[in-house]
Amino acid sequence: MTALMFMMFLFVVGIAFATMVQMDYQFGALQQQGQQAYLLAESGLEYYKARSTLFNPPNPGSVTKEYGVPAGDATHHFKVTKVLPSGDIISQGIIYKAPGKIYVTRTIIAPGGNFSKQYDASL
């Protein structure tokens, strides 16, 4: 009887440990995806800096461009928006789980186009 109780105790402890390991693994994966989305948003800001002339429309309004990284990728994208007349630059790093279904996103804003004051709006 004692051996059976001890075996049940070990079984419960083993299941609890396995559950904790699985949850830790899922949390780590989500953290990694969040970091990738942040780096994609940073890439969007660098894209804007290199090609800012593409974001000067003839009419007032916002201009948005979205690209996959690497080119044509269906899951890892950055989206850059220049908001007029404020001049704010909004860059989003987006990781899609499936077409049209966002898994993780991070947003960086450069108010008035001032990159020295950029901040992570996702936090």
pLDDT recorded at residue 78: 96
pTM: 0.81
Structural domain tally of the chain? 1
What is the pLDDT at residue 57?
75
* pLDDT reported for residue 81: 94
Could you give the CA distance from residue 57 to residue 48 in angstroms, rounded to a whole number?
14
pLDDT in tens, the chain (123 residues): 999 999 999 999 999 999 999 999 999 988 999 999 999 999 999 999 999 888 887 777 789 999 999 988 899 999 999 998 888 999 999 999 888 899 999 999 999 999 999 999 987
Residue 87 lies in domain: 2-120
Per-residue model confidence (pLDDT) at position 110: 96
What is the predicted pLDDT for the residue at 21?
A: 95
